[in-house]
Amino acid sequence: MTIASTLGPVMADVAGTALTDDDATRLQDPLIGSIILFARNYESPAQLRALTAQIKALRSPQLLIAVDHEGGRVQRFQEGFTKIPPMRDLGTLWDRSLEEGRMAAREIGYVIGAELGAHGIDFSFTPVLDLDWGASGVIGHRAFHRKPEAVAELAGALIAGLHEAGTVACGKHFPGHGHVRADSHHEIPRDDRNREEIFADDLIPFALLAAELDSIMPAHVIYEAIDSRPAGFSPVWLQQILRKDLGFDGILFSDDLTMEGASVAGGIVDRAEAAFAAGCDIVPVCNNLPLCDQLLAGLQSRGYVVPVGLAPRLERLRYRGNAAAMQDTRYRAALATLAKFDLI
């Protein structure tokens, strides 16, 4: 039975390749508005389509479904999907030919959007806008390039491809995770550069693409010259710099609240409240279903009310492409172009 509800700010996940009874019960909580899938949720294209159909049948409006599908080592669905190269390969191509680099980036965006949309996925958390400083192991070849202008050019082309395919883009990790060595999944990273250094490099791709990005995910990194809080918990970064100064008006995702970089805010409910207070619209809670249940109960006990305007804003993230796009000539042409550049 489909439950009439609204879309809430919590992004949850599910246990396996089909919904359990516990999953179905949890996903009917009105505080949940979206789902993120992982490799454990994938066996085959047919299984994935069945799972996303199960999820979408639970609620009206339907829950949004997302995935980390950047390419390289961050691509949750493998067999049956085009193997997307790491974004650094696009930077290498751009160094040889600006035109070919941009062309390839757009085609990769189109392929990602077409393939995900055909399997019931609304969007991917891509592109990565971090700079390749050679310092961060967790970013590494996920970054397009060291030069911010190259990152903006390539990411802008990839965004255009995503949009052409009917899906949206999420730029991450604002204002740039690439300069710090610590991995925010396991540590609390601190960037000790001054404001001028950050703004002259890492912030540039976000500034240049603010009008094209549908959503942004801030980093669980503390930029000590700007604020003592991680960017995702900082009204200075999100409300003053990103919203007011850069003019960004899309959706703001917190990074995963279970990461160690989020621990500075306290327990799981405190983390969510800190993200909301800073300006985040959606708070993902990943790979820890008991902690997700704790967050849902804690928000309810503290009297949290879903903002009236949240559901219409989240509708901007819904896939609007052709679910049969993988059968058309545009998709085949994109694959042919990527093969010509030895990217697939």
pLDDT of residue 4: 63
Q: What is the mean pLDDT of residues 264-281?
A: 98
Instruction: Tell me the pLDDT band of 137, cut-offs 50, 70 and 90.
Output: confident
Question: Residue 166 is encoded by which pair of tokens?
Answer: 């009917």
pLDDT of residue 286: 97
Cα-based torsion angle of the residue sequence 147, 153, 155, 161 in order, rounded to the nearest 10 degrees: -160
On the question of a cis peptide bond just before residue 61, with omega within 30 degrees of 0, the verdict is: yes
Give yes or no for residue 183 having a pLDDT over 80: no
Instruction: Tell me the pLDDT band of 114, cut-offs 50, 70 and 90.
Output: very high
Q: What is the mean pLDDT of residues 327-338?
A: 97
Exposed, middle or buried by CB within 10 Å (0-12, 13-18, 19+), for 39?
exposed
Amino acid in position 240: Q
Give yes or no for residue 38 having a pLDDT over 90: yes
Whole-number Å distance between alpha carbons of 224 and 194: 8
For 223, residues 6+ apart whose C-beta sits below 8 A from its C-beta are 175, 191, 193, 198, 231, 237
Q: Note the pLDDT tens digit of each residue in 257-270.
A: 999 899 999 999 99
Residue 2, φ and ψ in degrees, nearest 5: -85, 130
Most confident of 46-60, 129-143, 184-198: 46-60
Instruction: Tell me the pLDDT band of 138, cut-offs 50, 70 and 90.
Output: confident
Instruction: Tell me the pLDDT band of 145, cut-offs 50, 70 and 90.
Output: very high
Q: What is the pTM of this model?
A: 0.96
Give yes or no for residue 342 having a pLDDT over 70: yes
Sheet holding 32-37: strands in order across? Answer: 123-124, 64-67, 32-37, 10-12, 283-284
The answer to which of 67-81, 131-145, 166-180, 292-306 has the lowest mean pLDDT is 131-145
Q: What does pLDDT average to over the chain?
A: 96
Give yes or no for residue 1 having a pLDDT over 70: no
Give yes or no for residue 278 having a pLDDT over 70: yes
Three state DSSP letters for the chain: CCEECCCCCEEECCCCCCCCHHHHHHHCCCCEEEEEECHHHCCCHHHHHHHHHHHHHHEECCCEEEECEEECCEECCCCCCCCCCCHHHHHHHHHHCHHHHHHHHHHHHHHHHHHHHHCCCCEECCCECCCCCCCCCCCHHHCCCCCHHHHHHHHHHHHHHHHHHCCCCEEEEECCCCCCCCCCCCCCCEECCCHHHHHHCCHHHHHHHCCCCCEEEECCCEECCCCCCEHHHCHHHHHHHHHHHCCCCCEEECCCCCCHHHHHHCCHHHHHHHHHHHCCCEEECCCCHHHHHHHHHHHHHCCCCCCCCHHHHHHHHCCCCCCCHHHCHHHHHHHHHHHHCCCC
Domains in the chain: boundaries: 1-67+288-318
Q: Note the pLDDT tens digit of each residue in 227-260.
A: 999 999 999 999 999 999 999 999 999 999 999 8
pLDDT of residue 161: 98
Q: Which residues participate in catalysis according to the annotation?
A: 185, 255
Q: For residues 251 and 281, is the Cβ–Cβ distance under 8 A?
A: yes
Instruction: Tell me the pLDDT band of 321, cut-offs 50, 70 and 90.
Output: very high
pLDDT of residue 2: 76
Q: Note the pLDDT tens digit of each residue in 40-96.
A: 999 999 999 999 999 999 999 999 999 999 999 999 999 999 999 999 999 999 999
Residue among 287, 283, 260 nearest 272 (CA): 283
